[in-house]
A and B are shown apart, each in its own frame.
Chain A
Amino acid sequence: MVVPVNYYLGLSLALFTLGAIGVLIRRNILIILMCIEMMLNAVNLAFIGFADAFKAVDGQIFVFFVMTVAAAEVAVGLALVIAIYRNRATVYVDDLNILKW
Chain B
Amino acid sequence: MEYLFYTLAAVALISGALVVFQTHPLRSALWLIVNFFAVAGLYLLAHAEFIAAIQIIVYAGAIMVLFLFVIMLLNLRQPEEELARPRLGLKIAGITLAVISAVLLGMGFAKVVIKPVTEMPVGLGNTESVARLLFTDYLLPFEVTSVLLLVAIVGSVVLAKAKLR
Contact = CB atoms under 8 A, between A and B. Distances in A.
Q: Chain B: interface residue count, which band?
A: 35 or more
A2 B130 contact: no
B98 A17 contact: yes
A60 to B, nearest CB: 5
Interface of B: 1-2, 4-5, 9, 12-13, 16-17, 19-20, 22, 25, 28-29, 32, 35-36, 39, 42-43, 45-48, 50-51, 54-55, 58-59, 62-63, 66-67, 70-71, 73-75, 78, 81, 85, 90-91, 94-95, 97-99, 101-102, 105-106, 109-110, 112, 114, 116-117, 119-121, 124-125, 129-130, 133-134, 137-138, 141, 145, 148-149, 151-153, 155-157, 159-160, 164
B94 A21 contact: yes
B41 to A, nearest CB: 11
A7 to B, nearest CB: 7
User: What's the dominant secondary structure at chain A's contact region?
Assistant: helix
Contact of A48 (B12, B51, B130): B51
Q: Chain A: interface residue count, which band?
A: 35 or more
The 7 closest A-B pairs by CB, nearest first: A24-B94, A72-B152, A79-B156, A79-B159, A22-B20, A52-B46, A17-B102
User: What's the dominant secondary structure at chain B's contact region?
Assistant: helix
Which among A9, A18, A69, A83 has the highest number of chain B CB atoms within 10 Å?
Answer: A18
Interface in A47-82: 48-58, 60-61, 63-65, 67-76, 78-82
